[in-house]
Copies of this chain bind each other. A is one copy, B any other.
Amino acid sequence: MPTPFHTPQEVEDAFYDALDERNTELMMRVWDDTPDIACLLPMQPMVHGGEVRNLFKALLGGETRINIQVSHVHWVQIGDVAIHYVQERADPSGVRPPASGERGGGVPPLYATNIYRRRGEAGWSMILHQNSPPAPPAGMPPPR
C-alpha cells in the first residue's frame, strides 16, 4: 500500500510533480478511485470517471514534460472537501525566462480549480482538476 496523502497540499504537490516527471504511477495515486472524479486539461475535452485515468496514462506516456508554476488564488476547506483555486503558468523547458516587465515567457497564465476529498484512513485524493482558458487579451470589448 502506498502512503496516503495527509493533506490536500500533499496531493496538489504530487499532481504537479507527476506532470513534470511524467510519473504515471504517482498520478494514479493522486486521483480518488471512485466514479466521482472529473478533469479538464487545456485543449482537451472534459472527461469524467474512469476516463480521467485513461487521459493521464495517454498524456504521461508521451514525451512532453509539463512543468507548471502554481500560485494560490483562494483556498476553501469544508469538512472532508478542500477547494483550491490556483493560477498556473506553464514553464516549458527551452523557453527563455521573461524579461523585466513581460508577463512571463509569452505564455498567458491559466486558472485551475482543484478539488480534494478525504476518505478516512485513505487520506486525501484529487476529485477534480478543471482548467480555464487563458484570459482574453487586454482591450477586448466586454461581452454583451
Contacts and interface: CB of A to CB of B under 8 A. Distances in A.
Nearest to A78: B81
A127 B79 contact: no
A63 B144 CA distance: 8
Interface string A80-113: 1101010000000000000000000000000101
B144 A130 contact: no
A123 interface: no
Contacts of A127: 76, 83
A128 B83 contact: yes
A43 interface: yes
Nearest to A136: B45
A85 B38 contact: yes
Interface residues of A, number: 38
A71 interface: no
Given A73-B48, A78-B80, A81-B81, A143 B43 contact: yes
A62 interface: yes
Interface of A: 35-36, 38, 40, 43-46, 48-49, 58-59, 62-64, 73-74, 76, 78-81, 83, 85, 111, 113, 115, 117, 127-128, 130, 132-133, 135-136, 142-144
